[in-house]
Amino acid sequence: MSIIQSIRDKGARITVVIIAIALVGFILTDYFQSQGRTAGGRNSDAVGKVNGRNISFADFNAKVDQAEESYRQQGYPANEGSTQMAIDNTWEQEIARVLLEDEFSKLGIAVSKKELGDILYGPNAPADLKSQFTDQTTGQYNPVQAKQQIDQILKKGTPEQKASFNNYINQLILQRQNEKYMAMVSNSTNVPRWFVEKQNADASQMARVSLVKEYYSAIPDSAVKVSDKEIADYISKNKKDFEQKESREFSYVTFNASPAAVDSAEAKNKLLQLKAAFDTVKSFQELMSMEGADPMLNYEGFKSGNSFVSAYKDSILKTPVGSVFGPYLEGNVYKLAKIDAARTMPDTAKVRHILVATSQTDPQSGQTYPVRDTATAYKLADSLRQAIARGANFDSICAKFSEDPGSKDKGGIYDDVYSGRMVGTFNDYIFLNPVGSKGIVKTDFGYHYIEILSQKGSGTGYKMSFLSREIVVSPDTDNNANNLANLFAGDSRDIKSFDENYEKTLKPKGIIKGIGAAGPRDGQITGLGYSREFVRSLYEAKKGQVMKPVKVGDNYVVAVVTDVLSDGTMSVAKARPTAEAVLRNKKKAELLKQKVGKVSTLEAAATALGGKQIETVDSIRISGNNASLGYEPRVTGAIFNPANKGKVVAEALEGQSGVFVVRVDNVTATAVTAGSVADQRKAQADQKKGQANPISALKNAATIKDYREKHY
């Protein structure tokens, strides 16, 4: 994308209102005009509740629309994935909004009318207002003009405009309240002096120990049994570690519906039919009118061969000027490439320019509209050129007259410009003319007075044209995959027959059976892709039920629901893989400790454990993972217990990896070089302030009900 194209995109984005609330990241767009999607067929009740407060579907859906529009403005593709991202982000924002509003109410955090006026019309007014009400002559924000237009909207605007603007005001108020709240929370952070001194004292300690250890792996797992009751008791004592969310677990197989060889041949043949016409194309406009001329592939100007990326680069660039190379296949697209011209040109250029626009962007609709005709624009650009030629200051004229927001504040300069980043006519002027050239160039945005300040490097530049044809799935290919999927689903009525049918008919063909899990509001399925339809079908099915085929991406998927999990605590069977390992090691620890018996000396412990060696481990620190010891916090704690210095620890220690018998030979202190206590306190306090996130704590304490799956 060229810089000038970036300027246009930036200009469009300036018209979109973006209010980023700290921690919430709330995105607000197009406050002058409401453009919500209709709720066609969806329920109109609450999409969720936070501490008993409803989040209405209508308001929520409008904000999802706004978020999607913002994503499109930022270049995200409009698909199911971006819609789900908008839904998920809006949900988190709404939870935060409700929780924060409750906190503001409890704490009396408010914004007065005078303060709101300062927000809108003061020196730190929102960037979107500044961009729309900046005086083109002075370059300064005009708060009087902003207030006049806002008053006009509030007096004579449509109900939709008034509602949208009031929503905008509410977000500004929420943002300011949030700033006050966060300042209060972060400024309450304190790191006591004694705490830092204790940290330093602990960090300075270094120990040398002698020890005997035996790993749990010395006892076979088969020798230690863990009963269901033991696991149930362990779950009961550690419920937080075994919480589970509502989900469906499933097994699945896929039937490939991606393009087949016949589909590939069809795309190639259709492109070949266009080759003769492509060979005779004489202009960029004629090329762009042809079938298969992708604007993303074709560029009107010259581009350096160094910037061209293709697996067929060498072959394409060796093609004689005027000749066609291909068809060649890249991804799932067949392409034809033609070298229209080639010449020597610099690698980069530094230029400055002044844009006299022929069009601007409507702040309400985001659409471009003409601001002056081409004759008037050229006349103004030419008068600026003449003024500069007579000695007028370029920077002053640029700041006053240029309508390129990307460069006017920098004297119109673009530095280290690579070929292909500007629109074609602009690009060719700065790369095909020598340093010092000055002239007026017309683009879709208006007339540019350009000066070439410098150029670097040299190489061959090419003007190239491309036609492409994507390989698409034919109805026959799609129907064949669908029929195979339906046949398998019809023969598989439950988990047992699903598995048997797979082993008999699909596994010999190399088709892999996958497993997965999905929550009620998920859309992205690991290993499959994005499909809300598939997730909804999962939740309509019962445990053991084989679902009808659902197309996800290029595959028809047949799945069987293997388990239905509810919010709450895991069952013994579900928790066993995790709990069993912990309990088994505890039992092994008891067996090893019994084997050691009463601890007296390391030599006795080594003998009791079957002649283990006594090891010496030096340079052990109280914090961190000691390379020779591993992560063993219980053992480390015993080593630095002052009561154990110079002694054998009175009992065998149950560690993460095994049982340890330890003698603390020596504990010394080393100098701490981390700065003064005052500096450390300040650094830690600043870090904690930066990490302050009350939303997480508020969410943990809140009662949140999520009904999004009923609507989306």
At 70-125, the pLDDT tens digits run 888 777 888 888 898 999 999 999 999 999 999 999 999 999 999 999 999 988 88
CA atoms within 13 A on the CB side of 569: 13
Confidence label for 28 from pLDDT (cuts 50, 70 and 90): very low
Query: What is the domain extent for residue 270?
Result: 261-344
Q: Check whether residue 158 and residue 46 sit in a common domain.
A: yes
Q: Which helix (H) or strand (E) holds 266?
A: helix 261-279
Q: What span, in angstroms and rounded, lies between the C-alpha atoms of 86 and 94?
A: 12
Average of pLDDT values for 512-539?
94
Confidence label for 31 from pLDDT (cuts 50, 70 and 90): very low
Q: What span, in angstroms and rounded, lies between the C-alpha atoms of 264 and 469?
A: 10
Reported as a single tens digit per residue, the pLDDT across 40-80 is 444 458 999 999 999 999 999 989 998 898 888 777 888 88
Residue 154 has pLDDT above 50, yes or no: yes
Reported as a single tens digit per residue, the pLDDT across 390-403 is 999 999 999 999 99
User: Do residues 87 and 63 lie in contact, with contact meaning Cβ atoms separated by under 8 Å?
Assistant: no
Q: What span, in angstroms and rounded, lies between the C-alpha atoms of 466 and 303?
A: 14
CA distances from 22 to 25, 179, 411, 451 (A): 6, 7, 34, 43
Q: What is the DSSP-derived secondary structure letter of residue 134?
A: B
Q: Check whether residue 552 and residue 479 sit in a common domain.
A: yes
CA distances from 219 to 11, 231, 279, 587 (A): 70, 20, 77, 10
Residue 3 has pLDDT above 60, yes or no: no
Q: Check whether residue 55 and residue 160 sit in a common domain.
A: yes
Bond prior to 327 in cis (omega within 30° of 0): yes
Residue 195 has pLDDT above 90, yes or no: yes
Token duo for residue 229: 């009751």
> Could you tell me which of 678, 689, 676 has the C-alpha nearest to residue 193?
678
Residue-by-residue DSSP string for 425-480: HHHHHHHHS-TT-EEEEEETTEEEEEEEEEEE--EEEEEEEEEEEE----HHHHHH
Q: Check whether residue 75 and residue 131 sit in a common domain.
A: yes
CATH code assigned at 270: 3.10.50
Average of pLDDT values for 521-533?
92
465 lies in some domain: no
- Residue at a domain's end among 566, 585, 612: 566
Give residue 16's identity as a one-letter amino acid code.
V
- Residue at a domain's end among 312, 344, 376: 344
Reported as a single tens digit per residue, the pLDDT across 476-518 is 999 999 999 999 999 999 999 999 999 999 999 999 999 999 9
> Could you tell me which of 483, 472, 510 has the C-alpha nearest to residue 262?
472
pLDDT confidence of residue 128: 77
510 lies in some domain: yes
pLDDT confidence of residue 367: 66
Confidence label for 136 from pLDDT (cuts 50, 70 and 90): low
Q: Give the ranges where 280-421 is alpha helix by DSSP (H).
A: 284-288, 313-317, 374-389, 394-401
Q: What span, in angstroms and rounded, lies between the C-alpha atoms of 521 and 706?
A: 9
Q: What span, in angstroms and rounded, lies between the C-alpha atoms of 440 and 509?
A: 66
Average of pLDDT values for 421-450?
95
For 89-119, the three-class secondary structure string (H helix, E strand, C coil) is HHHHHHHHHHHHHHHHHHHCCCCCHHHHHHH
pLDDT confidence of residue 295: 85
Name the residue with higher pLDDT: 627 or 558: 558
Average of pLDDT values for 536-541?
95
310 lies in some domain: yes
- Residue at a domain's end among 535, 566, 597: 566
389 lies in some domain: yes
Residue 142 has pLDDT above 90, yes or no: no
Q: Check whether residue 511 and residue 554 sit in a common domain.
A: yes
Residue 343 has pLDDT above 50, yes or no: yes
Confidence label for 164 from pLDDT (cuts 50, 70 and 90): confident
Percent of the chain with pLDDT strictly greater than 90: 68
pLDDT confidence of residue 72: 84
pLDDT confidence of residue 624: 65
Q: Check whether residue 254 and residue 234 sit in a common domain.
A: no
Name the residue with higher pLDDT: 626 or 263: 263
User: Mean pLDDT of all residues in the chain?
Assistant: 88
Sequence-ordered list of residues with C-beta below 8 angstroms from that of 453, at least 6 positions apart, any chain: 350, 351, 352, 413, 435
Token duo for residue 80: 């199911």
CATH code assigned at 155: 1.10.4030.10
Q: Check whether residue 380 and residue 235 sit in a common domain.
A: no
pLDDT confidence of residue 80: 85
Number of domains in the chain: 5
Output phi, psi for 665, to 5 deg: -75, -40
pLDDT confidence of residue 41: 40
683 lies in some domain: no
Confidence label for 625 from pLDDT (cuts 50, 70 and 90): low
Q: What span, in angstroms and rounded, lies between the C-alpha atoms of 695 and 705?
A: 17
Q: Check whether residue 340 and residue 428 sit in a common domain.
A: no
Q: Check whether residue 30 and residue 137 sit in a common domain.
A: yes
556 lies in some domain: yes
Sequence-ordered list of residues with C-beta below 8 angstroms from that of 228, at least 6 positions apart, any chain: 572
Reported as a single tens digit per residue, the pLDDT across 458-482 is 999 999 999 999 999 999 999 999 9
User: Do residues 444 and 247 lie in contact, with contact meaning Cβ atoms separated by under 8 Å?
Assistant: no
Name the residue with higher pLDDT: 506 or 365: 506
Reported as a single tens digit per residue, the pLDDT across 627-677 is 778 889 999 999 999 999 999 999 999 999 999 999 999 999 888 767 889
Q: Check whether residue 318 and residue 424 sit in a common domain.
A: no
Q: Check whether residue 12 and residue 148 sit in a common domain.
A: yes
Percent of the chain with pLDDT strictly greater than 70: 91
pLDDT confidence of residue 40: 40
Reported as a single tens digit per residue, the pLDDT across 670-707 is 887 678 899 999 999 988 888 878 898 999 999 999 99
pLDDT confidence of residue 156: 85
pLDDT confidence of residue 27: 26
CATH code assigned at 358: 3.10.50.40
467 lies in some domain: no
Q: Check whether residue 452 and residue 380 sit in a common domain.
A: yes
> Could you tell me which of 544, 552, 563 has the C-alpha nearest to residue 253?
552
Residue 37 has pLDDT above 50, yes or no: no
